[in-house]
């Protein structure tokens, strides 16, 4: 008993030390560059969704585009140099965001970043206290730039994020703080329709606020090295689940007017029958694996998931949300022009600039950085707007966009043109004729042969992604050594690509039982990621040289069973090695799948199956994988 207490004490202390080592307590220049690259990617990936939410201050469908372009300008300038001091980096970010800031949300975001950078520019690193102060200062600058701040917009979400940061400042780990900040921000975002009548009338949340949360999620992912763990369900901003599925697969609102209602309901019927047939096939496949409790539970989860998507309430709410948005979108903006100007050496105080511009326009935002002043506003009369701008000082650039024209184009795009089909596909890296046949038997799967080494190049992956007929792709690398190459290819692709950390082909196949090409990439990613946690896998091969694994010396020619670089079993008798490995990790597993390689005959594989049944009394499936180098790849579920 005493020994047990000592063990528990030291294990607790050791865990605390490990947790401390893995904590992120500060941010350096290299991380800050990665943060902005990750944030730009996160916002750009969702720009169309943000455009679709855009009804305030005018429904011109450009919020996502504007915020994305603002961040792209920052990233473009960051790529011009490799080594920065924090002062240099903050100046580049602040100036780039100001000069590149577009539209209401883009310019407001640039002011948040300007205040953020003013706080960090004289520091050596960004610690917790500095980051909190930078959020405070950024929010303050964002509010100060708007002539008449309105709650229920991006400003409210920024304020909420800062307040949450303040309440969680006792946490040592910045990622833990940011995760809490993102969750609180999303709660606030969902409350924006109750703060701003125009949003409630359209049945959407604020587009700029949603964009800011994507910015924060990009921030978080960069600090956690692109951790694939989801933080929040950020795609449920605009509508109930069935509407989201429809929006992501066929554009937003079909063919116009009441036709869009009919179009949606026809798609809902098609979706229902298509998914019911898919469910039947999947459930039958699961049950064929073995008529046992595990199989019944899997089938039940599939049925429950589909039921949640097909509730009558979802269909009813979706029809109402379409009508509300159609009504909001079709209202022509009162002002005709969106004016943006950059001036130098303006001597007029910001307060007076806002007052002057407010006489000729609305949605006034004034931003300053050094000798540069940027003005954004909406105006009815172009001549009056030009006179007001030129009266302030030397004009470097001035731009007038026709809001009525933009609105008409936006409506035309959404109501008159059928959207592009956007289903989800999977790219799986495979090796072996048997695995190739099994993978390609699944609907929506494209395979890429990794060759004898199972290591395709980034260029190979990029080429394959570009050739796939889908904008939403999940990569199953099926090898730890392929994961980084897959991430690089995903980062370079213009498509929405997610990489899931499958460690071998057998695990990837088990995960595919949860893949549905008719569902969104977010839904598929969640389902597959959850299933990976339930799958144990190991590979059996022959050592090609003397080596050491898990502290044990391995002789050349010795047969070994390995799970994620952990040695499970070793020796000369292949069947005994596999049985020993399974006994070590089986716990409550109910199904074993054996994928035999090119050096194993079908008869040998089925003899192993009989041996396993006699020894362990567990259901065993046998498949011809045809993989080189590995006698077997084994999964337990």
Segment 43-75, tens digit of pLDDT: 988 887 788 778 788 777 788 888 998 999 899
* pLDDT at position 309: 57
On the 0-12 / 13-18 / 19+ scale of CB atoms within 10 A, 116 is buried
User: Which residues lie across from 633 on neighbouring strands?
Assistant: 539, 595
CA distances from 152 to 57, 196, 211, 550 (A): 11, 5, 14, 56
pLDDT band at 291 (very low <50, low <70, confident <90, very high): low
Q: What is the CATH number of domain 26-238?
A: 1.25.40.340
The confidence score (pLDDT) of residue 181 equals 93
Listed range (1-5, 351-355, 554-558, 599-603) with the worst mean pLDDT: 1-5
CATH class of 423-534: alpha beta
Of 157-166, 229-238, 355-364, which one has max mean pLDDT?
157-166
57 upstream amide cis, omega within 30 of 0: yes
| C-alpha span between 544 and 554 (Å, rounded) | 10
Do 542 and 558 form a contact (C-beta atoms < 8 A)?
yes
- Stretch 347-372: mean pLDDT: 85
> Of the spans 86-95, 156-165, 186-195, which averages the highest pLDDT?
156-165
What rounded mean pLDDT belongs to the chain? 79
What topology is assigned to 536-636 in CATH? Hypothetical Protein Tm841; Chain: A;domain 3 (3.30.1180)
* pLDDT computed for residue 153 by the predictor: 92
Domain 337-415 falls under CATH 3.40.50.170: no
Q: What share of the chain is helix, strand, coil (3-state, %, to 5)?
A: 55, 15, 25
pLDDT at 595 over 50: yes
Predicted local confidence at residue 420, as pLDDT: 37
Interaxial angle between packed helices 505-512 and 521-532, expressed in degrees from 0 to 180 and rounded to the nearest 10: 120
pLDDT for 138 equals 94
Q: Give the 3-state secondary structure of residue 459.
A: helix
CB 364 within 8 A of CB 357: yes
pLDDT: which is higher, 287 or 587: 587
pTM listed for this prediction: 0.55
Domain ranges of the chain: 26-238, 337-415, 423-534, 536-636
Q: What is the mean pLDDT of residues 416-430?
A: 65
Beta strands 536-542 and 630-636 are: antiparallel
Angle at alpha carbon of residue 93, lines to 91 and 99, rounded to 5°: 100
Q: b/e map of 595-615 (b: 16 or more CB within 10 Å)?
A: bbbbebeeeebeebbeebeee
Q: What percent of the chain has pLDDT over 90?
A: 11
Residue 157 banded pLDDT, cuts 50, 70, 90: very high
């Amino acid at each position: 008993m005493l020994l047990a207490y000592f063990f528990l004490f030291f294990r607790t202390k050791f865990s605390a030390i490990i947790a401390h080592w893995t904590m992120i307590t500060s941010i350096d220049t290299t991380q800050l560059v990665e943060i902005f690259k990750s944030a730009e990617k996160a916002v750009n990936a969702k720009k169309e969704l943000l455009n679709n939410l855009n009804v305030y201050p005018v429904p011109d469908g450009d919020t996502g585009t504007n915020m994305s372009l603002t961040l792209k300008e920052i990233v473009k300038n960051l790529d011009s140099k490799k080594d920065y001091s924090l002062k240099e980096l903050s100046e580049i970010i602040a100036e780039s965001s100001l000069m590149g800031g577009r539209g209401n949300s883009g310019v407001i975001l640039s002011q948040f970043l300007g205040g953020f950078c003013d706080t960090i520019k004289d520091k050596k690193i960004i610690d917790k206290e500095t980051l909190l102060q930078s959020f405070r200062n950024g929010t303050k600058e964002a509010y100060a730039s708007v002539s008449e701040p309105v709650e229920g917009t991006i400003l409210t979400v920024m304020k909420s994020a800062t307040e949450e940061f303040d309440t969680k400042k006792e946490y040592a780990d910045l990622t833990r703080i940011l995760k809490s900040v993102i969750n609180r921000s999303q709660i606030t975002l969902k409350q924006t329709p109750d703060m701003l009548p125009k949003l409630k009338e359209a049945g959407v949340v604020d587009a700029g606020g949603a964009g800011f949360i994507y910015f924060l999620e990009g921030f978080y992912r960069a600090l956690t090295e692109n951790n694939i763990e989801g933080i929040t369900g950020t795609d449920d901003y605009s509508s109930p689940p069935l509407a989201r599925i429809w929006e992501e697969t066929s554009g937003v609102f079909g063919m116009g007017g009441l036709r869009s209602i009919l179009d949606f309901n026809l798609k809902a019927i098609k979706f229902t029958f298509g998914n019911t047939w898919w469910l039947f096939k999947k459930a039958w496949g699961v049950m064929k694996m073995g008529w046992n409790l595990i199989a019944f539970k899997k089938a039940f989860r599939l049925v429950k998931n589909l039921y949640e998507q097909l509730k009558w309430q979802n269909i009813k709410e979706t029809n109402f949300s379409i009508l509300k948005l159609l009504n909001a979108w079709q209202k022509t903006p009162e002002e005709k022009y969106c004016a943006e100007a950059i001036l130098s050496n303006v001597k007029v105080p910001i307060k007076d600039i806002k007052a002057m511009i407010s006489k000729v326009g609305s949605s006034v935002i004034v931003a300053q950085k050094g000798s540069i002043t940027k003005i954004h506003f909406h105006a009815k009369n172009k001549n009056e707007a030009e006179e007001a701008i030129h009266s302030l000082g030397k004009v470097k650039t001035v731009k007038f966009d026709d809001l009525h024209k933009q609105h008409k184009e936006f409506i035309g795009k959404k109501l008159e043109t059928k959207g592009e089909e956007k289903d989800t596909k999977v790219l799986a890296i495979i090796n072996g004729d048997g695995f190739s046949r099994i993978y390609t038997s699944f609907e929506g799967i494209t395979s890429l042969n990794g060759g004898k080494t199972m290591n395709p190049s980034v260029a190979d992956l990029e080429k394959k992604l570009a050739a796939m007929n889908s904008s939403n792709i999940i990569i199953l690398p099926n090898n730890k050594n392929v994961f980084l190459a897959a991430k690089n290819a995903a980062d370079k692709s213009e498509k929405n690509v997610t990489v899931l950390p499958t460690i071998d082909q057998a695990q990837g196949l088990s995960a595919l039982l949860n893949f549905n090409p008719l569902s969104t990439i977010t839904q598929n990613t969640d389902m597959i990621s959850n299933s990976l946690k339930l799958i144990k896998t190991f590979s059996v091969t022959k050592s090609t040289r003397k080596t050491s694994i898990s502290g044990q010396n391995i002789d050349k020619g010795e047969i070994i069973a390995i799970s994620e670089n952990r040695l499970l079993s070793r020796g000369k008798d292949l069947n005994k090695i596999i049985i020993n490995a399974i006994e070590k990790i089986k716990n409550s597993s109910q199904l074993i799948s054996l994928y035999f390689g090119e050096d194993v005959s079908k008869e040998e594989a089925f003899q192993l199956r009989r041996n396993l049944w006699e020894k362990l009394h567990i259901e065993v499936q046998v498949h011809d994988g045809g993989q080189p180098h590995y006698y077997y790849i084994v999964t337990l579920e």
